[in-house]
C-alpha cells in the first residue's frame, strides 16, 4: 500500500513539476519579449533624441549663418550709402542736350532754393531717366512714362545739406529733391510708406525716418521692425 501511495505521489509531483516548468518557461519567454520591446523603444528614443539634437544644431547653424549674412548686407549697405553722402537727385529738372548740366543745376539751386553756390561746388551732374512712384504702380508697363532725374554730386557736404534743407520751397511745384539712396534703403523707405503705423516719411543722411501716427519720430534700419526702431528726440 505504501509503495502504491509513494508511486502516486511521485507521479503527481512529476506532473506538477512539468506544468510548473512550462509556466516558468512561458513567463521567461514573455519577459524576454517585453525586454526586447523596451529595448527597441529605448533605442528608438535615443535615435529620435540624436536626430532632434542634430536638427537643433542645424537650425542654430542656419540662424547664425543668416545673421552673419544680414550683418554683411548691413555693412555693405552702410559703405555704399556713405559713398553717396554728397549726392542728391533733382526730379523734374530737364536739361537739353546742348546745355551744360552743372550750370543748369547751379542756376536752379540759386533761383528756386535760394542757396548761393558756384559751379565749382558741383563735382558732377548728369541726367538719368526714372519712373515716378505712381507710374511704377501702373499695371501695364507700356503705359508708364519716364521722368528726367538729374544726379548731382556736390564737392562739399555742407552745400549739399543746405540744398536739401531748402527743398521744402519746391512744394507744389513739379520739382522735388531726394537723397541718392541705396536699393536696400529705398526698400526700407517704401516699407514705411506702406505701413499703417506711419503718417509721414523722409530721409536724412541716407537714413529712413518716419513720423508715426502716435506722434513718435523714429529712424528705421534695414531688416528692423518699426516697433524696434530708434526713437528720435
pLDDT of residue 170: 95
Ordered by start, the domain boundaries in the chain are: 1-84, 86-180, 181-233
Global pTM value: 0.64
Query: 86-180: which CATH number, 3.40.50.2300, 3.40.47.10, 3.30.420.300, 3.30.70.330?
Result: 3.30.70.330
d(CA 3, CA 20): 25
- Is the Cβ–Cβ distance between 198 and 212 less than 8 Å? yes
Distances (CA, A) of 12 to 5, 20, 96, 155: 10, 12, 125, 118
Kindly state the percentage of the chain with pLDDT values over 70.
Answer: 67
- Is the Cβ–Cβ distance between 126 and 102 less than 8 Å? no
pLDDT band, very low/low/confident/very high, at 2 (cuts 50, 70, 90) = very low
The pLDDT tens digits of the residues spanning 81-134 come to 999 999 999 999 999 988 999 999 999 999 999 999 987 899 999 998 876 544
Distances (CA, A) of 141 to 3, 130, 202, 210: 117, 13, 27, 30
Amino acid at each position: 500500500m505504501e509503495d502504491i501511495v509513494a508511486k502516486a505521489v511521485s507521479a503527481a509531483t512529476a506532473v506538477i513539476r512539468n506544468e510548473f516548468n512550462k509556466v516558468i518557461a512561458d513567463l521567461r519567454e514573455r519577459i524576454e519579449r517585453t525586454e526586447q520591446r523596451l529595448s527597441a523603444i529605448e533605442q528608438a528614443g535615443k535615435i529620435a533624441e540624436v536626430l532632434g539634437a542634430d536638427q537643433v544644431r542645424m537650425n542654430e547653424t542656419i540662424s547664425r549663418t543668416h545673421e552673419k549674412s544680414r550683418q554683411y548686407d548691413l555693412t555693405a549697405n552702410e559703405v555704399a550709402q556713405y559713398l553717396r553722402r554728397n549726392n542728391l537727385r533733382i526730379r523734374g529738372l530737364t536739361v537739353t542736350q546742348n546745355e551744360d548740366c552743372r550750370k543748369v543745376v547751379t542756376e536752379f539751386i540759386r533761383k528756386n532754393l535760394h542757396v548761393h553756390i558756384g559751379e565749382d561746388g558741383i563735382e558732377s551732374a548728369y541726367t538719368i531717366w526714372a519712373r515716378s512712384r505712381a507710374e511704377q504702380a501702373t499695371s501695364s508697363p507700356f503705359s508708364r512714362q519716364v521722368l528726367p532725374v538729374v544726379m548731382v554730386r556736390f564737392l562739399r557736404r555742407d552745400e549739399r545739406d543746405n540744398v536739401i534743407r531748402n527743398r521744402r520751397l519746391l512744394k507744389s511745384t513739379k520739382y522735388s529733391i531726394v537723397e541718392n539712396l541705396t536699393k536696400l534703403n529705398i526698400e526700407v523707405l517704401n516699407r514705411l510708406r506702406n505701413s499703417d503705423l506711419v503718417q509721414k516719411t523722409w530721409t536724412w543722411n541716407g537714413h529712413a525716418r518716419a513720423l508715426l501716427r502716435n506722434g513718435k519720430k523714429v529712424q528705421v534700419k534695414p531688416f528692423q521692425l518699426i516697433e524696434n526702431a530708434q526713437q528720435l528726440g
